[in-house]
Structure 1
Amino acid sequence: MEILSRMRRTAAVLGLCAALVAVPAAAAAEPAAPKTPRTPGIPVVTTEQVMPHLRALQSIADRTGGNRAHGTKGFQQSLAYVKGVLDKAGFRTGLRPFTHNGVVGHNLIADWPGGDPDHVVLVGAHLDSVEAGPGMNDNGSGSAAVLATAVAMSRAGVAPKRHLRFAWWGAEEQGLIGSKDYVRKLSAAGREKIDVYLNFDMTGSRNVQQWLVVHDDPRATDAFEAYFAAKGLPTFDIGIGGSDHESFGDAGIPVSGFNTGVGDCLHDACDRIDNVDPETETLSTNAILGVTWQLATR
């Protein structure tokens, strides 16, 4: 998470809200059967399909000095891992270079073939960590959830009406550098083609009280709220500021998405894989998958 002060304020709000609304212990798990009928065609991601991506990112950090920050081997190997998975899944991938603090960084863009190129659903997360630690919840969790979503759509052979694009940003912890660079380099027509940008930052927090949903694009916001409501999970609405979606919202591109709140290990060495709750991460991944599928195919 890049803007620490804003997230601390969000944490304070959550502390007040937690006294009013608490998630039952069993609610954080993906239920054996959904409470409402699942839309035909939308696949389901299991814990075994998302957590291996987090384990891979943790392993990369462990063997490259303990973090995955901009300009490090940890980030470069994280980028190579995600790109490799996407290439095997049939996506058209490309690296978009930028320079920050004299060091070349990259955004990874992955396009799924098909869909109307004039109407794009863009789904993203930042891939880098801070230098203090491996960044498994911030934001290995969001990166893994978006990656598992992309793979699930590939396996299901999704045939989108809108064009479907996924992105992993670099140097976001340095000041939203990667996402700003991507937006800045879009032409006016290119910006108009993005119907909505969905952002996911810290999707596997332990002891989650509420899912913090970005309220901007009405259709996406309503879809996320409906998903969590159907499972009896409380939400809290947040605005455009505070994470990667800010770069898009500031440019007039509709945004939505969610996070699961700030934990004690934010930007710390203890943000390791055991700082991510597998059940929360799985539920979040299926929320991303379900809403993205709806927005892309209807």
Structure 2
Amino acid sequence: MKTRLLGFAGAIALAAATLTPIAPASAAAAPDIPIANVKAHLSQFQSISNANGGNRAHGRPGYRASLDYVKARLDSAGYQTSIRSFSYNGATGYNLIADWPGGDANQVLMAGAHLDSVRSGAGINDNGTGSAAILEAALAVARSGYQPTKHLRFGWWGAEELGLIGSSRYVSSLTATERSRIKGYLNYDMVGSPNAGYFVYDGDNSDGVGSGPGPAGSAQIESTINSYFSGIGVTTRGTDFDGRSDYGPFIRVGIPAGGTFTGAEGRKTTAQAQLWGGQAGVAFDRCYHSSCDTTSNINDTALDRNSDSIAHAIWALSGPA
């Protein structure tokens, strides 16, 4: 997740480790997303960072190696992938777009996460977690043989940490007709914070404060995500569309959005600690934008729950209207 801004080489060898399989799922029921699979992707991001100067930032070799890793996994699973390049701050950046064949091309459900880190570290929670979780959800679609009514698209964004650059370039590249086809955008940025909270983007502005509701349809996304958490006995709290992540370019053009967030540099309150556990008075992520944001900087329970919530939202929102 970028700092508060209200505006806006080469492939690596893939790991040979075997990932945990999942059972097939029907259109009515999302599969469980094995946390072992998500963490295997995080280990790859850490190894990529270690081999490329200690980060995965825009314009650095670690970013492109991360993108190549994700693309190779998706290509092997049968996705139609494309790399969209852009220039920013004198360096080439990249977005990765992956489409699952089939579904109504005029009814697109999209899920996205930024793939870049800051230059000070590997960026495993911020935002390896979101990137790995949506990657595994995409692979679960392929493994389960799911054939949704809507067309599924996934995006991994470059240069988010510099001001939502990659996602902004993607949205601005779309024609008005292409934008109108995207019926919902799910954003996942930091979903495994060590002192985790359980925040869902407040699509209906139910608390009456902050940035206001998202575009029409955002309340349905929020309700769908909340239904998963209520089903496992986890109380959520709303978080505003405050312009800090890649939903920003989408909501600015009227595309409904939602997603989850487990907290960044803000400190957990006493009330939140009573609700979710963890330490009051301590940042949700003490390693936010620092060198200690490694694979040791993850709350497995939060990562597992959020990964499953992603699958729940994709299955629920891409099925029959």
The 2-side partners of 1:235 and 1:46 are apart by 22
Partner of 1:221: 222
- Secondary structure of 1:81's counterpart equals helix
User: Match for 1:251: what amino acid?
Assistant: V
What does the per-residue CA deviation read over 1:204-255, in whole Å, with 9 as the maximum and x for residues that have no partner?
A: 1112133343423122110011111111212121222221101111111111
Unpaired runs of at least 5, structure 2: 7-25, 204-213, 265-284
2:30 to 39, 42, 52: 42
- Secondary structure of 2:296's counterpart equals helix
Shift of 1:40: 4.5
What are the residue-to-residue correspondences of 1:63-212 with 2, within 5 Å? 63-212=51-200
User: Match for 1:254: what amino acid?
Assistant: P
The 2-side partners of 1:278 and 1:210 are apart by 13
Shift of 1:96: 0.6
What does the per-residue CA deviation read over 1:166-215, in whole Å, with 9 as the maximum and x for residues that have no partner?
A: 00000110110000000001000011000000000000111213334342
The 2-side partners of 1:197 and 1:214 are apart by 14
The 2-side partners of 1:41 and 1:246 are apart by 30
Gap change, CA 1:81 and 1:250, over 3 Å in 2? same
TM-score, scaled to structure 2: 0.80
The 2-side partners of 1:273 and 1:230 are apart by 29
Shift of 1:4: 3.7
Question: How many residue pairs were aligned?
Answer: 267
Partner of 2:210: none
2:287 to 265, 278, 282: 265
8 Å CA contact 1:3–1:243 kept in 2: the answer is: no
**CA RMSD of the aligned region, Å?**
1.5
Unpaired runs of at least 5, structure 1: 7-37
8 Å CA contact 1:214–1:255 kept in 2: the answer is: no
8 Å CA contact 2:113–2:156 kept in 1: the answer is: yes
What does the per-residue CA deviation read over 1:107-165, in whole Å, with 9 as the maximum and x for residues that have no partner?
A: 00000000000010000000000001100000000000000100011100110111000
Structure holding more helix per residue: 1
The 2-side partners of 1:181 and 1:157 are apart by 32
User: Match for 1:180: what amino acid?
Assistant: S
8 Å CA contact 2:199–2:239 kept in 1: the answer is: no
Partner of 1:249: 251
Structure 1 window deviating more from structure 2 (104-113 vs 215-224): it is 215-224
Asked whether 1:237 is paired with 2:253, we answer no
Higher RCO structure (Cα 8 Å, ≥6 apart): 1
TM-score, scaled to structure 1: 0.87
8 Å CA contact 2:109–2:152 kept in 1: the answer is: yes
